[in-house]
Amino acid sequence: MTRLACDLTTLRRGACPSIAAPMQTGDGLLVRLRPVAAALAAKDLLALADLARENGNGLVEITARGNIQLRGLTATSVPHLAEGLAAAGIVPQTGVAIETPPLSGIDPSEIVDATPVAAALRQAIAGAALILAPKLAIVVDGGGVLSLADMIADVRLDAVATNDGVFWRLSLGGDRRTARAIALLCPQTVVAGAMTIMAALATAGPAARGRDLDAAALAAGFDTKPGMPVFLVPSHPVGVHRIGDHLLLGVAPAYGQVHADRLAALVRGLSACGVAEFRLAPHRTLLVRGLSENTLAAAQDIAEREGFWCTDNAPGRSISICAGAAGCASAGFDTHAAADAMVAHAAELLDGSVDVHISGCPKGCAHPARAAVTLCGTAAGIGLVLDGRAGDAPLATIPATELAPAIQRLGTLLRTRRAGDEKAKNLIDRTAPATFISAYQGQQ
Ligand code: SF4
């Protein structure tokens, strides 16, 4: 079998960490992949779990865009991972990321199956050999219950049903509501129209994104003008869905991470309940198909037992955590335990209106962007950062042994100050940092 060349000189933050170019993180190399097949069998997920254990630190993540991430790999183990994927018949997508709704082709409520358009566009881009930004994201959305209307993309194609048939609304830089309209394309011209944008991006430079293009100038080149889009908020994929004849259950690993052993236990348990198909979906979700009304409750019990959330309002959904002490030598504390303490004692922070980040060290692997509240392991203890990144100077630092009571005090502070059903964002905005610091350090 051909051994994959892993050019570690290409590793950098900001690029997409594929198998050919994994990304260096504090817990080793990270590989992100999306299988070409929309529907995975139990054996595929079991193979992925084995490969995560054998070649990495065993942690498997599902990202917000529905990709798989394996962590803790090494320059030596990445080629073994590639070989293992090939042996298991799992083919990762390559090239530009083109997203379609997770139930494309099987959702009777969709306007049209987006898969053929996405495949044709992928082929056209590959054939044109354009150099495009590594993080470029394209959405081809045929609608349906789990549409991608709320997913941000550089370039969007949204299906539109008209009296004259299905058309595609081409737009730039945003979700379905905010992206700037370019054209309304018929099925015969949709790929050629989208390729006009790809050519403009390539001309603008190897890092150009949708937001960098002049939408008005591009729209002037098309005859057909799109109207305002219909924006229906899609269902959250986590939870139970009854779509046509299909009963689906969306499960999400707690905090987006699960150990391979528990993933394998989930897959075996759900298979025994009749699940024959697993689909990766946005919001860190695994959609499973094949349950009956008789086996649904047992499947939910198994998912919860193995550390998966089954409802879209799980309070921990707005917490990002890294591997922590369980999987990374750089970590200063147990991030999972801290997240559980946050859920148990400071739920006021977790209504989804703000991001909370719990990072084992200042590297901040799990959430490189700013978060409203960050707890970060440092040499001096656990730092508290407000509206910043894990690497920012903490406002206050406490010993790791004091963290649980500190989280309880933060929860008490927020509960005491909260007015009615006030959102966490507003509550944080109107609370002075000094008040947070006092509570965190136990000086109230
Ligand atoms: S402790 Fe967390 S943030 Fe630090 S290097 Fe490890 S995984 Fe990354």
Domain of 275: which CATH number? 3.90.480.10
Domain assignment present for residue 232? The answer is: no
Are 330 and 433 members of one domain? yes
Residue of 225 and 404 predicted with greater confidence: 404
Domain assignment present for residue 250? The answer is: yes
End residue of a domain, out of 219, 249, 277: 219
pLDDT confidence of 11, banded at 50, 70, 90? very low
Cα separation, 135 vs 132, whole angstroms: 8
Digit-coded pLDDT (tens) for 374-401? 999 999 999 999 999 999 999 999 999 9
| Closest-lying ligand 1 atom to the alpha carbon of residue 331 | 1
Task: Using the mean position of ligand 1's atoms as its centre, give its distance from the Cα of residue 86 in Å.
Answer: 29
Q: Which of 334, 436, 328 is nearest to 24 (CA)?
A: 328
Are 280 and 329 members of one domain? no
pLDDT confidence of 369, banded at 50, 70, 90? confident
Looking at the 3D structure of the chain, how many domains does it have? 3
Q: What is the mean pLDDT of residues 270-278?
A: 97
Q: What is the mean pLDDT of residues 291-299?
A: 97
Are 80 and 15 members of one domain? yes
Nearest CA to ligand 1 atom 2: 360
Digit-coded pLDDT (tens) for 305-349? 999 999 877 878 889 898 888 778 889 899 999 999 999 999 989
Domain assignment present for residue 224? The answer is: no
Domain assignment present for residue 1? The answer is: no
Domain assignment present for residue 27? The answer is: yes
Give the model's pLDDT for residue 245: 84
Are 31 and 131 members of one domain? no
The range of the structural domain enclosing residue 194 comes to 103-219
Q: What is the mean pLDDT of residues 148-170?
A: 94
pLDDT higher than 60, residue 257: yes
72 lines ligand 1 (CB under 6 A): no
pLDDT confidence of 189, banded at 50, 70, 90? very high
Q: For residue 185, what are the β-bridge partners?
A: 168
The pTM of the full predicted model, rounded to 2 decimals, is: 0.84
Structure tokens at 412: 């008490």
| Ligand 1 probe mutation, 13, 23, 24, 27, most atoms within 8 A of CB | 27
Q: Is 202 left (phi over 0), alpha (psi -120 to 50) or beta?
A: alpha
Give the model's pLDDT for residue 15: 56
365 lines ligand 1 (CB under 6 A): yes
Give the model's pLDDT for residue 444: 63
Are 294 and 361 members of one domain? no
pLDDT confidence of 8, banded at 50, 70, 90? very low
pLDDT higher than 80, residue 272: yes
| Ligand 1 probe mutation, 255, 321, 333, 365, most atoms within 8 A of CB | 365
Are 243 and 214 members of one domain? no
Edge to edge, the sheet with strand 381-388 lists 319-321, 356-359, 371-378, 381-388, 396-398
Domain assignment present for residue 231? The answer is: no
pLDDT higher than 90, residue 5: no
Nearest CA to ligand 1 atom 4: 361
End residue of a domain, out of 282, 312, 342: 312
Q: What is the mean pLDDT of residues 140-145?
A: 96
Are 257 and 193 members of one domain? no
Environment class of 339 (CB within 10 Å of its CB; exposed 0-12, middle 13-18, buried 19+): buried
Are 339 and 299 members of one domain? no
pLDDT confidence of 9, banded at 50, 70, 90? very low
| Closest-lying ligand 1 atom to the alpha carbon of residue 325 | 1
Are 327 and 436 members of one domain? yes
Are 154 and 73 members of one domain? no
Domain assignment present for residue 129? The answer is: yes
Domain assignment present for residue 3? The answer is: no
| Ligand 1 probe mutation, 61, 321, 330, 333, most atoms within 8 A of CB | 330
Cα separation, 281 vs 67, whole angstroms: 8
CATH number, domain with residue 374? 3.30.413.10
Give the model's pLDDT for residue 10: 40
Highest mean pLDDT among 59-63, 269-273, 424-428: 269-273
Q: By percentage, how much of the chain surpasses pLDDT 70?
A: 96
| Closest-lying ligand 1 atom to the alpha carbon of residue 329 | 6
Are 338 and 397 members of one domain? yes
101 lines ligand 1 (CB under 6 A): no
